[in-house]
Each structure stands twice: as C-alpha cells, then as structure tokens.
C-alpha cells in the first residue's frame, strides 16, 4: 500500500494526516495490526475507526461549497461595462450604460468565444443594446434582460436561430429594425406595456412563433415586422393602433384569425398577402367604418375572410 496517499479517499497525506477525511496514519489499524491474526478487539476498534471516518466524510460533503461555474474568458466592453463567460456558457454583462453598437466591419469583444455562448445575462444598470451586439450567436438559447433597459437596437439578436426564450423588461420602449429577425426557435412574444416602437423586419422569419401579445402603446406595425412567421395562427391588433404597414404579416401561411380594432385606418399593400388560411376577422367597428379603411392592393385573404362587426 502506498502510504503517501490516504487509503480512504486517495488524498495526499501531509505528515501522515489527511485533511479531507481525517485519516491519521499513526492510528491506522489497517497498517499497525497486519502482523498476526486480528483479534476481536482489533476488529472492533477498526470498525469504530471506519465509522468515525465515514461520519467525517459525510459531514464534509454537507458543508463543502457547491461547485460554481468557472470563468473561461472576460474583458471590457466599453466605458464601465465588462463581460465574462463561464464554462457553462453564460455570458454576463455588468456595469452601467448601453452596450455599444458595432460598425459594419467591427466584432464584439466576445467574438472569439461566440460559439460557446448558451445564455446571456445582462445586469442591472445596462440601459440598452447596440446594433448587432449579439447577432448570429447561433448557440444562444436564452436571454435575461434587466429592468431599466429602454432600447434594443437594430440587428441586436438577428440570426440567433436557437434563441427560444426572451423576457422583455417593462421599461423597454423600443425594438429596432431586424432586432430578432431569423430567430427561428422563438415561440412566444409578450411585449411590455411601454413599448411604443417595433422596427421593420423586427421579427421577420421567426418561423416557430405561435403566440404574440402586443401592447396598447403601439400606434403602428412596421414593414414586414412579422413577415414569414409561418406558425402564427392568430393575432390581436391592440386598441389605438392606426396603421399596419406593407408586408407586415406577409406569408403567415397558418394565420386563421385576426382581431382588428376600429382605430386602424390604413393597411399597406401585401400586408396580409399569402395568408390563404384567414377565415375570420373580428372587427371593432361598423361596416361604414370598415369602408373608410385605406386597404392597399394584394390583401385579398383579408378582404375575402368573414368579418364579424362589433360596432
């Protein structure tokens, strides 16, 4: 037996003592009583010794700190912002201020470890996300955004095709053009009550999107905002919204039901083109009010559906 290591747990001995389980080489009955037959007393003493060691080991496991994720990369973002990535794939942004936008040919500071990112946690104090900050992080599945954040700029998460879960803070007021375009795993959107702008193509080609909740604070839906969201089956346009721009719901092939408030005065061309399954439009106004809506060309699926009037 190699007595340089503990025979109980394998830890290296120091001066014959194991700091992990409490083994003491000087009192080792396995070693000191190997010559000759083992008496009943020796056997009893050895059993008591092992019971004590087992109690120490269990106590040590209960009090030992839990394993924490180790940091594998870190650095500075800009100003007072820092970033770190742990070995579980969580990218954490800390500090105060907005994450800066990227220029056409610049790369984010975490670009070298981009393929290891699974989760993004943005800490309190971060007020916005700049252009293309997390674009094309194809391994990203989940994002946590802080209260106090007000804007997500264009292309911020564009092309994050594994992203399935985003909880938006109530403080958010603006989502930029193409911000979540081609996030093809995103299924549910609950947009906060203060949001007053969603840019064009913001959720374009979110092909798994089935459930969308829009706030009453919106006044328009921009070009192609939900274009090619093929899994979307119904949509409720909020009260107070006045315009639905061109291609807004283009090629939402499984869209069957639309709730449309009387506040809508304009529907752009191709807004509901290639939506052949629309069956019902629940309209908050009268037939006269419907006739006053400026509806652009190539919206036949909308016009040919059955309209339910509430006004």
Contacts of 157 (CB under 8 A, 6+ apart): 134, 135, 137, 140, 143, 163, 166, 179, 180, 183
Question: Where on the phi/psi map is residue 148: left (φ > 0), alpha (ψ -120 to 50), or beta?
Answer: left
Confidence grade of residue 126 (pLDDT, cut at 50, 70, 90): very high
Residues 80 and 50 in one domain: no
**Domain count for the chain:** 2
In a domain, 51, yes or no: yes
**pLDDT of 35 above 50:** no
Residues 177 and 293 in one domain: yes
In a domain, 1, yes or no: no
Confidence grade of residue 34 (pLDDT, cut at 50, 70, 90): very low
**How confident is the model at residue 13, as a pLDDT?**
72
Q: Report strand pairing: 280-283 vs 197-198.
A: unpaired
In a domain, 10, yes or no: no
Range of the domain at 40: 25-63
Single residue among 33, 63, 93 that ends a domain in this structure: 63
**pLDDT of 65 above 50:** no
Residues 81 and 59 in one domain: no
In a domain, 7, yes or no: no
Distance CA 84, CA 135 (A): 18
In a domain, 6, yes or no: no
In a domain, 70, yes or no: no
Nearest to 188, CA basis, from 159, 212, 152: 212
In a domain, 20, yes or no: no
Residues 32 and 139 in one domain: no
Residues 170 and 303 in one domain: yes
123, 146 contact by CB (below 8 A): yes
Report the predicted TM-score, pTM, of the whole model to 2 decimal places: 0.78
Q: Which residue carries 């107070």 as its tokens?
A: 240
In a domain, 233, yes or no: yes
């Amino acid at each position: 037996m190699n007595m340089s290591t503990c025979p109980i747990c394998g830890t290296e001995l120091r001066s014959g003592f194991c700091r992990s389980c409490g083994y003491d080489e000087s009192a080792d009955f396995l070693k000191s009583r190997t010559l000759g037959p083992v008496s009943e007393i020796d056997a009893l003493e050895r059993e008591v010794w092992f019971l004590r060691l087992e109690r120490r080991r269990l106590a040590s496991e209960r009090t030992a700190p839990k394993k924490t994720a180790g940091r594998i990369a870190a650095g500075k973002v800009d100003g007072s912002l820092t970033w770190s990535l742990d070995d579980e794939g969580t990218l954490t942004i800390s500090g105060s201020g907005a994450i800066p936008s990227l220029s056409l040919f610049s790369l984010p500071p975490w670009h070298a470890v981009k393929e290891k990112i699974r989760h993004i946690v943005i800490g309190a104090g971060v007020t916005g996300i700049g252009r293309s900050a997390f674009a094309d992080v194809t391994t990203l599945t989940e994002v946590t955004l802080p209260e106090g954040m007000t804007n997500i700029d264009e292309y911020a998460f564009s092309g994050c095709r594994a992203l399935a879960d985003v909880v938006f803070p109530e403080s958010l007021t603006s989502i930029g053009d193409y911000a979540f375009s081609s996030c093809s795993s995103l299924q549910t959107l609950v947009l906060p009550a203060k949001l007053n702008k969603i840019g064009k193509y913001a959720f374009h080609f979110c092909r798994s999107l089935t459930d969308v909740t829009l706030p009453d604070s919106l006044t328009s839906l921009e070009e192609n905002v939900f274009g090619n969201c093929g899994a979307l089956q119904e949509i409720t346009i909020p009260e107070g919204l006045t315009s639905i721009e061109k291609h807004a719901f283009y090629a939402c092939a499984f869209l069957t039901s639309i709730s449309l408030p009387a506040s809508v005065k304009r529907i752009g061309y191709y807004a509901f083109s290639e939506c052949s399954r629309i069956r019902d439009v629940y309209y908050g106004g009268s037939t006269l009010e419907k006739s006053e809506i400026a509806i652009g060309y190539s919206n036949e699926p909308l016009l040919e559906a059955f309209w339910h009037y509430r006004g």
